[in-house]
């Protein structure tokens, strides 16, 4: 499978954070990585690769070097995307059955209307052995959020203020149709509806990843932000070959779109806990951990905004990346992005050596931007960091657009990041091997 199809498959299968994590785990196991359990004692063998999950929606994988760990090479992304979480089912109105939803993250609301949708996520079942998690995905055109006809809203094309409680509730079916609980029980493996005790379910668009453009130069898909970065950095992690004292780490965390404030998010301790456990299992001290962190580099990999051809005025005129222009280094004076001069220079030099083009992104000085997980992860891990990504359009739309060539650029850049030996020789100084 080539890199483009690999990303497309990851996007198509990652219909919820739990499905994205499951796909990452499948690929890690296929590559020979051993699954660890947070609740059990770890036994680590130098030279081997391992992974561990948290909440079923966040994954950390790592390779233990053959000697003592002197530093970390970490690439982080996130599994979640803006969507609608299902609160209740079976609300009857005007001869129809609706689901009741609540917004998750800052989505472009209008893009969710008048398109085939379905449900994805996890359910918690009562079984003879206790409580079990089951992934569910209704692989059918199941739901729609219908627009209000222009005859009832004559100002629809003059700017619309959406009310999520009123306008964004999906239509399930006619009154008397198959109940949602029955459908969910079937999707969960044929259990009784009463065995479903709870769920984490979201709406997901039915569109698959597709190439567009006269020669397929671009692609469209739901969840490009941030599963494109998750898949490309995972591929790089699995392909990288290194004999340095750096331990390679790949991570896909959850809840970035709502502030990362969860045990499986960047403001939690998942990464810090895992790094500490690795060192302790290998017999290294807390002091070793502090020294390793100071000599490390963390990539916060989350997509950035390409210059919009219809609205170039929205981008900084000197720091606006384009699709298929290479890896984007994101900078922000207020440290919403973690990049500084040194980390940008170090990563740029690594990319230069393997021929990967690098672009810069910065917000206009008169327009605030978003943030990502890097600055939040820095609360629990004191290591040099930078924010990178790939340029895309329509971020936080139900379906987004990005450049095909950038897939290979990110894989080559992050693979070189893992493989290139570099040493911190003092605060603000590095030697690159």
Element (H, E) at 199: strand 196-205
Instruction: Return the bridge partners of 73, or none.
Output: 248, 297
* pLDDT value, residue 242: 78
The first and second tokens of residue 312, run together, are 């170039």
Q: Which residue has the tokens 């989350």?
A: 302
User: In whole angstroms, what is the distance from residue 297 CA to residue 291 CA?
Assistant: 12
At residue 70, the pLDDT reads: 92
Q: How far apart are CA 71 and CA 222, in angstroms?
A: 36
Residues 22, 37 contacting (CB under 8 angstroms): no
Q: 376: closest CA among 270, 243, 290?
A: 270
10-residue mean pLDDT profile of the chain (433 residues): values are 94 98 98 97 95 98 93 97 93 94 96 98 94 96 96 88 95 96 93 94 98 98 98 98 88 95 92 95 92 93 96 92 97 90 96 97 85 85 94 98 98 97 88 88
Instruction: Output the CA–CA distances (angstroms, integers) from residue 243 to 41, 75, 169, 375, 414, in the order listed.
Output: 26, 18, 54, 29, 16
As to burial, measured by CB atoms within 10 angstroms (0-12 exposed, 13-18 middle, 19+ buried), residue 31 is: middle
Query: What's the confidence (pLDDT) of residue 1?
Result: 64
| Residue 410 CA neighbour count, 13 Å, CB half | 36
DSSP code per residue over 353-415: HTT--EEEE---TTS-----SHHHHTTT----EEEEE-EEESTTSSSEEEESHHHHHHHHHHH
Domains of the chain: 3-81+222-432 (3.40.630.10), 83-205 (2.30.250.10)
**What pTM was computed for the model?**
0.96
Residue 254: strand, helix, or coil: coil
pLDDT tens-digit map of 212-260: 999 999 999 999 999 999 999 999 999 998 777 899 999 999 999 999 9
Q: Beginning with the edge strand found earlier in the chain, give each strand of the sheet holding 358-361 in spatial order.
A: 34-35, 49-54, 58-63, 246-253, 71-78, 297-301, 385-389, 327-330, 358-361
- Do strands 358-361 and 327-330 pair parallel, antiparallel, or not at all (unpaired)? parallel
CB 276 within 8 A of CB 102: no
d(CA 423, CA 245): 10
Tell me if 414 sits within 8 A of 125, measured CB to CB.
no
Question: Could you please report the per-residue DSSP string of 1-55?
Answer: --HHHHHHHHHHH-SSHHHHHHHHHHHHHHTTPEE--TTS-----TT-EEEEEET
What does the buried/exposed string (b/e) look like for 115-129 if buried means 16 or more CB atoms within 10 Å of the residue's CB? eebbbbbbbebeeee
Please, are residues 282 and 64 in contact by the beta-carbon 8 Å criterion? yes
What's the distance, Cα to Cα, between the start and end of the chain in Å? 32
Task: Specify which residues 360 forms β-bridges with.
Answer: 329
Whole-number Å distance between alpha carbons of 161 and 163: 7
**Nearest alpha carbon to residue 377 among 293, 275, 292, 260:** 260
What is the predicted pLDDT for the residue at 205?
Answer: 98
* CA 351-353-359 angle, 5° bins: 30
From 377, 391, 340, select the one nearest 259 (Cα to Cα): 377
Encoded tokens for 38 = 């947070």
Tokens representing 337 are 């992005």
């Amino acid at each position: 499978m080539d890199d483009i199809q690999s990303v497309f498959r990851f996007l198509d299968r990652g219909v919820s954070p739990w499905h994205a994590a499951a796909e990452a785990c499948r690929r890690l196991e296929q590559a020979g990585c051993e699954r660890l359990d947070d609740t059990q004692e770890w036994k680590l063998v130098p030279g081997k690769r391992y992974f561990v999950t948290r909440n079923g929606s966040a994954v950390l994988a790592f390779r233990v070097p053959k000697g003592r760990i002197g530093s970390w090479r970490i690439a982080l992304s996130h599994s979640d995307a803006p969507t609608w979480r299902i609160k209740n089912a079976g609300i009857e109105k005007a001869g129809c059955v609706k689901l009741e939803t609540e917004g998750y993250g800052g989505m472009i609301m209008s893009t969710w209307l008048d398109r085939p949708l379905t449900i994805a996520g996890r359910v918690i079942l009562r079984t003879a052995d206790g409580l079990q998690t089951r992934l569910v995905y209704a692989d059918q055109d199941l739901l729609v959020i219908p627009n209000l006809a222009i005859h009832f809203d004559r100002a629809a094309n003059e700017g619309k203020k959406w009310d999520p409680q009123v306008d964004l509730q999906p239509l399930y079916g006619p009154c008397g149709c198959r109940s949602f609980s029955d459908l969910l029980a079937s999707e969960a493996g044929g259990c009784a509806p009463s065995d479903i005790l709870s769920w984490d379910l979201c709406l997901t668009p039915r569109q698959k990843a597709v190439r567009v453009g006269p020669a397929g130069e671009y692609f469209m898909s739901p969840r490009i932000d941030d599963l494109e970065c998750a898949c490309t950095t995972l591929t790089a992690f699995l392909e990288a070959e290194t004999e340095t004292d750096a331990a390679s780490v790949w991570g896909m965390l959850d809840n970035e779109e709502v502030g990362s404030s969860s045990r499986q998010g960047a403001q939690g301790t998942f990464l810090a806990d895992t790094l500490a456990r690795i060192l302790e299992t290998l017999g290294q001290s807390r002091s070793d951990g502090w020294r390793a962190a100071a000599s490390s580099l963390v990539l916060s990999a989350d997509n950035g905004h390409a210059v919009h051809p219809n609205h170039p005025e929205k981008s900084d005129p000197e720091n606006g990346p384009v699709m298929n222009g290479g890896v984007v280094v994101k900078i922000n004076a207020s440290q919403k992005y973690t990049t500084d001069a040194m980390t940008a220079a170090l990563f740029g030099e690594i990319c230069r050596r393997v021929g990967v083009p690098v672009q810069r992104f910065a917000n206009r000085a008169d327009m605030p931007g978003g943030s990502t997980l890097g600055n939040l992860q820095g609360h629990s891990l004191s290591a040099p960091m930078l924010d990178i990504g790939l340029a895309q359009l329509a971020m936080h739309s139900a379906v987004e657009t990005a450049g095909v060539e950038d897939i290979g650029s990110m894989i080559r850049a992050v693979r070189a990041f893992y493989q290139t030996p570099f040493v911190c020789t003092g605060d603000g100084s590095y030697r690159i091997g």
